[in-house]
Amino acid sequence: MPKRAIIVGAGAGGLSAAVDLAAAGWEVDVFETNAEPGGKMHQRRVGEVGIDGGPTVFTMHWVFDELFKRAGAVFDNRVRLTESRRLARHAWTDGSHLDLFHDIDQSAQAIADFSDERNAQGYRRFCDDGELVHNLLRDNFMATSQPSPIRLGYRLLRDGGLRSLAVAPHRSLWNALGNYFSDPRLRQLYGRYATYVGSSPLSTPSTLMLIAHVERQGVWCVDGGMRALAHAMADLATEHGARFHFESPVRKINCTNGRATGITLSSGKSVSADAIIFNGDAAALSNGLLGDDVLKSTRIRERQARGLSAITWCINATTSGFELDHHNVFFASDYEREFTTIFKSRSVCNEPTVYVCAQDRVNNMHITDGKERLLLLINAPADGDHGAWTRPKLEQQRRSALSVLTRCGLNLDFAEEDCVTTSPDNWHQRFPGSGGSLYGAASHGMFSSFSRPSSGTRIKGLYLAGGSAHPGPGVPMATLSGSIAARHIQHDAA
């Protein structure tokens, strides 16, 4: 008799777990609140068009190659990608611009022209150190199910020697960046990578410079948006027999004799299984949202420990004054203040840095002549369960964001009905237990990466997958977490 697994949630982690378990011969049922797979990989309807409202930067192609290969498929045959020649276009309110590329020489030349030769050399050292950290952590941290700081420290010294001390995680990324860049704009640019894991560059360990290395290895645009990736993963799992139950919220995870044995849906129907993977935010379990049986399965996450939330605007607009690329960042002048405002004052700066994804553009090709699909994003505190953002407050925040764009040279023209806003309280509703955090806990402090819950919980038979669990947030990392959970389950069942 095949073993049966239930997966609660069809986000990246739930989907990869479904692929791996179904391909390994398990009977898999996935229960998802929404009407389609993807979770944060989703599109918002804005008038006539769909605009990606979640992740837009697709990296770590190898994670998907390996996942699809394990299930007997070729990823590139299922998902059409276009490699972006430029990593991103960056602009500042003083009128300066910088484009960065995969190629280190090309970026170093761009930095020398933008700043000076010393900063270009600092960039080359930054790339070397980022690669070192990445190579040390890829197998010793990301791919392991339960990383330990002692074992990792030993391996870093064994494999990286004294050089690994140069990028030791006791310093903050912000602090470490000062050693590479004297130009404050470059420190700001590379500090921004901390936000990819929902964190402040002022508090996140310097090892997170590896994110810039990951991006240098390639950034792709997914044809049909990131939801196409989610659908391809769901289709692959279905081909191996997994069953998806959409619009089926799970109300309770049930235990018998201290072991997770099944779920009860909001409809009242109960289903039993040998193993259960929870792909929602792990904090939903300790908040009691999945019932008392699993209340103690994970540690409580304090509000202060949450990673970043965001305010986003999906806009169908005409643009002028600035030649957008697919990924664009418009920096406000005081980056430190942005993060102290969010994490200490728990508010949003009135001059925020704005990310703009121009979804109809890639490699100088502009697919539409008139309106184009944009996602605007600013960081915000994850206090979505501590009061809603009112309409006037959101309008004020949008004016502030648009004013940063205008000062950088970009003008947007759009009708009110062509703009859909999502605030931290909306994110909290969509991802229960999260407070609106899009990335689980913030990676603040040297040991933060080790305090993320791993795939196993304190309750036998209950496992975690997703961005709030090890190895962390981001589509590829959440995908890895699902595969780690699937391996853990198979190991326990053997």
Indicate which single residue of 6, 12, 173, 378 sits in contact with ligand FAD (rule: CB under 6 A): 12
218 binds ligand FAD (CB under 6 A): no
Subset of residues 441 to 480 that bind ligand FAD, contact rule: CB under 6 A:
466-467, 473-475, 478
Environment class of 300 (CB within 10 Å of its CB; exposed 0-12, middle 13-18, buried 19+): exposed
Task: Name beta bridge partners: 91.
Answer: 97, 330
Give the helix/strand (H/E) hosting 12.
Answer: helix 12-23
Residue 28 pairs in a beta bridge with 5
Q: Is 244 in the site for ligand FAD (CB under 6 A)?
A: no
> How does 428-452 read in b/e, with b if 16+ C-beta sit within 10 Å?
bebbbbbbbbbbbbbbbbbebbbeb
By CB under 6 A, the residues from 325 to 384 that bind ligand FAD are 377
Write out the binding residues for ligand FAD, residues 120-179 only, by CB under 6 A.
Answer: none
Q: Is 157 helix (H, G, I), strand (E, B) or coil?
A: helix
Among 4, 34, 218, 264, binds ligand FAD (CB under 6 A): 34
Among 142, 310, 329, 349, binds ligand FAD (CB under 6 A): 310
Distance between CA atoms of 66 and 138, rounded to whole angstroms? Answer: 14
CB of 172 to ligand FAD, least distance (A): 22
Nearest distance in Å: CB 429, ligand FAD? 10
Identify the residue among 57, 233, 356, 401 touching ligand FAD (CB under 6 A): 57
8 binds ligand FAD (CB under 6 A): yes
438 part of the interface to ligand FAD, by CB under 6 A: yes
279 binds ligand FAD (CB under 6 A): yes
CA-CA-CA-CA torsion sign (189, 191, 194, 199): negative
**3-state DSSP helix/strand/coil % of the chain, to nearest 5:** 40, 25, 40
Range list of β-strands (E), 321-471: 327-331, 354-358, 361-362, 365-366, 372-380, 411-413, 419-422, 462-464
For residue 435, state whether it binds ligand FAD (rule: CB under 6 A).
no
The rounded distance, in Å, linking the Cα atoms of 222 and 313 is: 20
Binding mask 65-104 for ligand FAD (x = CB under 6 A): ----------------------------------------
127, 11, 6, 23: which is closest to 481 by C-alpha? 11
- Does 250 participate in binding ligand FAD (rule CB under 6 A)? yes
Contacts of 396 (CB under 8 A, 6+ apart): none
Tell whether residue 225 is a contact of ligand FAD (CB under 6 A). Answer: no
Minimal distance in Å, beta carbon 62 to ligand FAD?
Answer: 14
Q: Considering the complex, state which of residue 12 and residue 120 has its C-beta at the smaller distance from ligand FAD.
A: 12
Decide whether 181 or 220 has the Cβ nearer to ligand FAD: 220
Residue in 122, 280, 453, 471 binding ligand FAD, rule: CB under 6 A:
280
Placement of tokens 């903050």 in the chain: 172
Residue nearest to ligand FAD (CB): 11
Amino acid at residue number 394: L
Provide the binding-site residues for ligand FAD, judged by CB under 6 A: 8-14, 31-34, 39-41, 54-57, 249-250, 279-280, 310, 312, 377, 431-432, 438-439, 466-467, 473-475, 478
